[in-house]
Structure 1
Amino acid sequence: MAARNISVALFPKTSQDVRVVEVEPPSPEPGPTGAPRPVTALDPGDRERLLSGTHHDPHALLGAHPGPEGVVFRALRPFAEAVAVTLPDGLRIRLDNEGDGLFSGVLPLDAVPDYTLRVRYGSGVESEVRDPYRFLPSLGEFDLHLISEGRHEQLWKALGAQPMEHQGVTGTRFTVWAPNARGVRVAGNFNFWDATALPMRSLGSSGVWELFVPGIGEGELYKFEITRPDGSRTMRADPMARSAQTPPETASVVHASRYEWQDAAWLAKRATGRPAHEAPFSVYEVHLPSWRPGLTYRELADQLPGYVADLGFTHVELMPVAEHPFGGSWGYQITGFYAPTARLGTPDDFKYLVDALHRAGIGVIMDWVPAHFPRDDWALAEFDGRPLYEHEDPQRAAHPDWGTLEFDYGRREVRNFLVANAVYWCEEFHIDGLRVDAVASMLYLDYSREDGQWSPNADGGRENPDAVAFLQEMNATVYRRCPGVVTIAEESTAWDGVTRATSEGGLGFGFKWNMGWMHDSLVYVEKDPIHRKYHHNEMTFSMVYAYSENYVLPISHDEVVHGKQALVSKMPGDWWQQRATHRAYLGFMWAHPGKQLLFMGQEFAQGAEWSEAHGPDWWLLDPSYGAEADHRGVRDLVRELNRQYAATGALWERDTQPSGFAWVDGGAADDNVFAFMRFDASGNPLLAVSNFSPVVRDDYRLGVPDDVPAWREVLNTDDSSFGGSGVTAARPVKTEAQGQHGWPASVRLTLPPLATVWLRPV
């Protein structure tokens, strides 16, 4: 139907019954026409709250509502010159201009029709839009109940920006938790960042604000404009955003995944396979933005899986991929907990990388940071004008080390935000493990605080019971919902039961980083060989507590930055001795009870400290570089370590059982020698011997079982192919009846200088 000027003479039951008493030709400038009855003016208080963005129920004032004289229409369209209601039959009725962007009128209808709004601006631009205020709430009561209880395990499906079809119309549902806000509005590139026209409604006592906006889809930028309790306003990124602008820009991005996974076989195997602590588990730690600087997620997917698989690592551990504003934080100061960083691509691009790693047989562990968040005024800090995600006690809120804020683990909605986030990465991105950062800072109320800067718990202790409950809930939920996923704690104290089941009072982690082993063993190898005998116990002490938890042995990024030097550069002596000690240390590490983690660049003995600005020194492996064998040899050793490790059940089948380890000689301090046995589930042994002296030790007698007639060398870090001196055992070594070190028999070995050798029964 063409646009017509009309006047309504009757009060019909439908638009079809409207009697047009005046008909004019179509307007030469198509736009709103007609004149409905005027409506009663808004209550001044309602009007002020609506225009200022502090009305808790804008849907009660805006949209279409049946009344005694017909259906009342009211629209809020700032800067519009005219607004009209377009009815299903094409009839267009112009609304009265109330001022301040409000337009209203009464149409003589007895039911609300399926209408649209025709909006004309002063520039002559017109648009036909659906009215956001004609829709019922798009979030169900059950979702709100779970949110209020802090038990919504898929919180990302209820909060944030969700493209969807609602009441037969496509658009985006915006929802945000802001219980202290006086009002919340949506701003974005779709309304020129003026939020006036899109106030949200408060959904009862849940603290959730909601608005379904028709016609808004994927890729749109948005933020929430929040009116604080003091009346001031703040523009905030969505805490639940699944995608964000590339930093330094800070807007959230409406996202809907289109990715089709190809890793069903991987997930099925993961769910039914060996428990992680009884399986091979060697980890290559990666900072994605600098592994090969400039690569996107999809470009990384073409290179990283092949490289890691070639070296034989079972897993990669990705330093935090969640969105963060400052690249120099390496991802540990997160502002977008649900959004992979846009620096490298879209969320679906990140899924492509994870999928590619899975197809290459590589598990994916992700660093997860629930301990703190930065103070950026567009993110979580005092999100709705008061402490919300952080603790209300300033002493409890401020993290003393990093200038950040600590989460309030005692608030159920905050705990839900974090627990659901852990589940989100595992379910939506098929992450196989979460390495939880800075657990100690969460567990202790006095962490890095002096007397007077903290308050004890209800029992007078220094433990944080809220953090304990949160970690237990997170671990229990992840293990229940995501079969085969493993959680790993970076916990640097002697907290009891980090990897004990939550049902037994433990925190429920699968593994704990063995920071004590890392510190002690590095202290030892950094000493000159002539002084190592005075530090022998630094290498043996770890076995005193090796079975108190399930451990990962980490040589992580933290050990090769900020003046600590790269691993090979920590070693004393000339370049040959440094490389030899580096290789010997890796051989010792791979044989020691616990899983292995090595940071990128250390697999080829990079001598420089890592920098996120340029990443590993890959040029060291270039054939045109004169000493490439120095570095290629170390990389070849790491490949062989992983190959032998995967093939040798003695190194992992009883990794968490004391019966899987036995010292042969742990007291040879004067010789700088360590010798021990590892046993598989059937009792088959592996003999590991490390000589941390720069001299060859001939006819070195070590005790062994008497039921093995001969031993063969399966790994020698001094092999010339690894850059060593080539002192190897070419033939099997026979077992002799002479007992040694409390064992019924013995072997005589030639121990290469600064080297580790592994021997297995012939």
Structure 2
Amino acid sequence: MGYDLAGGLTGWDMEGFQSGGDTELWKRLGAHVVTIPTDDGGTVTGTRFSVWAPNAQAVQLIGEFNYWGGDEMYRLPGTGVWSRFIEDRGTDTLYKFRIQGPDGVWREKADPMATFCESAPSTASIVYESQYIWSDDEWIARREKAQAHQEPMSIYELHLGSWRKGLTYLELADELVEYVKWQGYTHVEFMPVSEHPFEPSWGYQVTGYFAPTSRFGRPDDFRHLVDTLHQAGIGVILDWVPGHFPKDEWALGRFDGTALYEHADPRQGEHMDWGTYIFNYGRNEVKSFLVSNALYWVSEFHIDGLRVDAVASMLYLDYSRKEGEWVPNVFGGRENLEAIDFLRYTNKHLYERHPGVLMIAEESTSFPGVTRPVHHDGLGFGFKWNMGWMNDSLRYIEEDPVNRQYNHHLMTFAMVYAYSENFILPISHDEVVHGKGSMVNKVPQDDWRKFATMRAFYAYMWSFPGKQLIFMGQEFGQRSEFSEERGLEWWVADMWGHGGLKRLFKDMNDIYRNEPALYALDSDPAGFEWIASDDAAGNVFAWVRTDGVGNKVACLFNFSAEPKNTYGIWLPQAGVWKEILNTDSPAYDGDGNFGNYGQVIAREGASPWGDGAGATVCIPPLGAIWLKYDASATAELPGDMGLA
């Protein structure tokens, strides 16, 4: 009985790969259980292994099926792709490629397209065929019609390995989903799930781009986690790392003995700071590999969005380089034109293939048009992390309250550029690692001030224009900075201060999701109006959010340690404003001594500025209040009521 030892793969199959147009490369390269015809008219089932190694002299397939001895692979003419069919082998088969480079040296490599891998320190690839049956059709149908910029988005970022140390994907599908749903977040964002060998990299140095890490279970177990989140009404964002990859000798680097995935010139092909290689975005096959990878996570694992890591490092040829250490583009500039083209291509393709998907840039410079559509000469991302807002606001809360008056601009400056992009406000893992300390310990003085300030700050964040993201542990004020070596300090989560903060997040998420004024016009200047922006001496900020169809929420903040018992404020409409949030409430471990008895009354002509509606309010020390305009209560307002 004879059959095609290349497993039926032909040069025609690789034409799109060579032109950069194959965006489903995982269906062709890698390991696939297939049934092929035999010479006698029958069929035979086994696994076809295929790999791109255009500069190799020879390639062997090694694995447990041949006692790691080596079966010759066959080169498909004109493609640089090698293939080999092995009969009667399927899921859970371990394998690698042994590649002889132009220099004659044999190197053992993991499969770049592997969909399942051994966990470190082992490095073999594993044949895997998904058997998962999804139950999230309703979620996917809703996602396709979503208008993300006009909808609520509060994101809980987490590291799967240390949220609760030791949990598997299946266990997380029970415990994590229950917790996130109770807290009320709309999305989770997983730090990179792709296989990686070095635990302290948190997944940002990927060796298996198409394989969810086997540390926590099998690929279908990860599918179950995503599916369960969707059924609970929670979206899933995945960190994606196309900016660089590690130099591990068994992985992508110098794959066929040459600079294949990376640039050969270290001025273009290496991040000296990170000790990693940079992808060659101008090579068609590399572009196909990366675009396929982005689409793979969305198509095969139903991921709702990709947060693209370190975009700035991709955009600039001189990123973190001194003069003479970089190569200008063809026009003599510093922009990486090939990377820009790649990002535009990826974003456009994913939005076309999966309407409603979220493409998010972690871009730390002022590169223009990050969230502008590709057809308007932008990069085509849906959202961008607002790093300027993050840096300024953290600098502000780190000041002693008596000194904040001299840094008032740090909390107002973000409105100068708030509508230049579609922003997400991130307080991510990057802000609580490497000696930066935890969020609660950034605030000076005693615990009363620390926790009160944290409550006020997060209320400020949740009502500021833009979507929100926090990192795990912030919701209950963990005191230690993040470490992948241990889980979160759950034993403190219900203690005084910690438990109050956790309850505040739950209530803020509930209010946020139910108040369109807080999110519907995040990307539109019509949704925001200052009502107190220049009270530096009082450390007070206040604004009104609106959805444009009558709903209004006034948000007031006092970052001084003194109460503002009779603070005069202008409000855009006369009548009753219900107090829907007070961070000083005993429910949040506040004092409960400062509030507005449930409502504030604004009257025409009572504005401190002599015109419009005005009111007198109480803003707690190191506290925040949200007031919602209640049109239905206006007609019942007694004529002799006081201002507050």
Q: Structure 1-normalised TM-score?
A: 0.81
Cα distance in structure 1, aligned partners of 2:426 and 2:547: 23
Q: Which position in structure 1 is the counterpart of 2:227? A: 355
Which residue matches 1:667? 534
Runs of 4+ in 1 over 4 A off after TM superposition: 133-137
Hey, what's the Cα distance between the residues in 1 that align with 2:29 and 2:64?
20
1:432 correspondence with 2:307: no
Q: Structure 1 residues 200, 136: CA separation in 2 closer, same or farther (over 3 Å shift)?
A: closer
Q: State the shift of 1:204 in Å.
A: 1.5
Match of residue 171 from structure 1: 46
CA-CA distance at 1:136 after TM superposition: 6.0
Structure 1 residue 586 displacement after superposition? 0.2
Tell whether the 8 Å contact from 1:143 to 1:152 is kept in structure 2 after alignment: no
Bigger CA drift: 537-546 or 610-619?
Answer: 610-619
Q: Who is 1:73 aligned against?
A: none
SS at match of 2:289: helix
After TM superposition, give the deviation of residue 140 of structure 1 in Å. Answer: 4.1
Q: CA shift at 1:180, angstroms?
A: 0.7
Distance 2:443 2:493 in 1: 21
Query: How do residues 130-529 of structure 1 correspond to structure 2 at under 5 angstroms?
Result: 134-135=4-5, 137-167=7-37, 168-195=43-70, 198-273=71-146, 275-529=147-401
Displacement of 1:357: 0.6
Distance of 1:663 and 1:509 partners within structure 2: 28
Output the CA distance in 1 between the equivalents of 2:456 and 2:128.
Answer: 49
Give the 3 Å change call, closer, same or farther, for CA 617–171 of structure 1 in structure 2. same
Give the deviation of 1:202 after TM superposition: 1.0
* Rounded Cα–Cα distance in structure 1 between residues aligned with 2:418 and 2:325: 34
Query: 1: distance between equivalents of 2:283 and 2:583?
Result: 53
Matches within 5 A, 1:617-636: 617-621=489-493, 628-636=495-503
- What are the residue-to-residue correspondences of 1:65-144 with 2, within 5 Å? 114=1, 134-135=4-5, 137-144=7-14
Aligned AA for 2:8? S
Deviations 1:207-256 (A, max 9, x none): 11111111111101000010100111000000000000111100000000
Pick from 567, 572, 575 the counterpart of residue 705 of structure 1.
572
- In structure 1, the residue corresponding to 2:118 is in which secondary structure? coil
- SS of the aligned residue for 2:497 comes to helix
Change (3 A) 1:175 1:343: same
Contact 1:649–1:681 (Cα < 8 Å) also in 2: no
Q: Deviation of residue 189 (structure 1)?
A: 0.8
**Post-superposition shift, 1:733?**
1.3
Cα drift, residue 684 of structure 1: 2.3
Give the drift of 1:742. 8.2
Higher relative contact order (CA 8 A, sep 6+): 2
What's 1:56 paired with?
none
Superposition pairs of residues 605-644 of structure 1, within 5 angstroms: 605-621=477-493, 628-644=495-511
Asked whether the 8 Å contact 1:283–1:313 carries over to 2, the reply is: yes
- State the Cα deviation string for residues 536-594 of structure 1 (Å, max 9, x = none): 00000000000000000000000011111111110111011000000000000000000
- In the other structure, the counterpart of 2:514 is 647
Match of 1:561 among 409, 420, 433: 433
- Retained in 2: the 8 A contact 1:703–1:742? no
What is the CA deviation profile of residues 485-521 of structure 1, one whole-angstrom value per residue up to 9, with x for unaligned ones? Answer: 1110000000000000011110000100000000000
Report the equivalent of 1:656: 523
- 2:637 paired residue number: none
Report the Cα distance in structure 2 between the residues aligned to 1:470 and 1:595, rounded to whole angstroms: 26
CA apart distance, 1:135: 4.2
Shift of 1:621: 2.6
Cα offset, 1:483, TM superposition: 2.0
- The letter of the residue matching 2:145 is T
Contact 2:607 2:615 in 1 (8 A): no
Provide the C-alpha distance between the structure 2 equivalents of 1:710 and 1:404, rounded to a whole number of angstroms: 59
The unaligned stretches of length 5 or more in structure 2 are 38-42, 631-644
Aligned match for 1:689, one of 556, 569, 576: 556
Distance 1:554 1:459 in 2: 35
- Aligned CA distance change for structure 1 residues 446 and 479 (closer, same or farther; 3 Å): same
> Counterparts of 2:598 and 2:90 in 1: how far apart (Å)?
70
- Whether the 8 Å contact between 1:282 and 1:597 is mirrored in structure 2 is yes
Distance 2:609 2:63 in 1: 74
Residues 317 and 336, structure 2, Cα contact 8 Å, conserved in 1: yes
- Match of 1:231, SS state, is coil
Q: Show the counterpart of 1:78.
A: none
Q: Secondary structure at the match of 2:457?
A: helix
Give the aligned residue type for 1:711: W
C-alpha displacement of 1:481: 0.9
Identity %, equivalent residues: 52
SS at match of 2:510: helix
Corresponding residue for 1:64? none
User: CA-atom RMSD, angstroms?
Assistant: 1.1
Mark the CA change 1:741 to 1:643 in structure 2 (over 3 Å): closer, same or farther: farther
- Cα deviation, residue 681, structure 1: 2.9
Matched, 1:574 2:424: no
The residue correspondences of 1:52-71 to structure 2 (distance < 5 A) are none
Q: Could you tell me how far apart the structure 2 residues matched to 1:401 and 1:743 are?
A: 58
What is the one-letter code of the residue matched to 1:248? P
Secondary structure of the equivalent of 1:606?
Answer: coil
State the number of aligned residues.
623
> Secondary structure in 1 aligned to 2:161?
helix
Distance 1:205 1:576, change over 3 A: same
Quote the Cα distance in structure 1 between the aligned partners of 2:137 and 2:197: 34
In 2: Cα distance, 1:425 partner to 1:182 partner:
33
Counterpart residue type for residue 97 of structure 2 = F
Deviation per CA, 1:584-625: give whole Å up to 9, x if none: 000000000000001000000111111111121001135xxx
Change (3 A) 1:701 1:225: same
**1:401 to partner: Cα distance:** 1.9
Are 2:589 and 1:716 equivalent residues in the alignment?
A: no
SS of equivalent residue, structure 2 residue 448? helix
- Which residue is equivalent to 1:86? none
Partner SS state of residue 78, structure 2: helix
**Cα separation, partners in 2 of 1:134 and 1:731, compared to 1, 3 Å:** closer
1:308–1:403 Cα change, 3 Å? same
- Correspondence 1:723-742 to 2 at 5 A: 723-726=589-592, 727-736=594-603, 737-740=605-608
Given the alignment, which residue of 569, 576, 599 partners 2:471?
Answer: 599
Task: Give the secondary-structure state (helix, strand or coil) at the position aligned to 1:181.
Answer: coil
**TM-superposition CA deviations, 1:321-371 (whole Å, max 9, x none):** 000000010000000000000000010010010011111110000000000
Kept in 1, the 8 Å contact 2:526–2:548? The answer is no
Please give the per-residue CA displacement for 1:179-221, whole angstroms capped at 9, x wherever unaligned. 11111110001111111xx211111221111111111111010
Which among 674, 678, 682 is matched to residue 545 of structure 2? 678
For 2:614, which of 717, 732, 746 is the aligned residue?
746
Paired residue type of 1:183: A
| Counterpart residue type for residue 438 of structure 1 | A
2:642 maps to none
Structure 1 residue 143 displacement after superposition: 2.1
Aligned residue in 1 for 2:638: none
SS of corresponding position for 2:496 = helix
Deviation at 1:145, TM superposition (A): 1.0
Q: Is the 8 A contact 2:6 2:73 kept in 1?
A: no
Which residue in the other structure is 1:35 paired with? none
SS in 2 for 1:629: coil
Deviations 1:367-392 (A, max 9, x none): 00000000000000000000010112
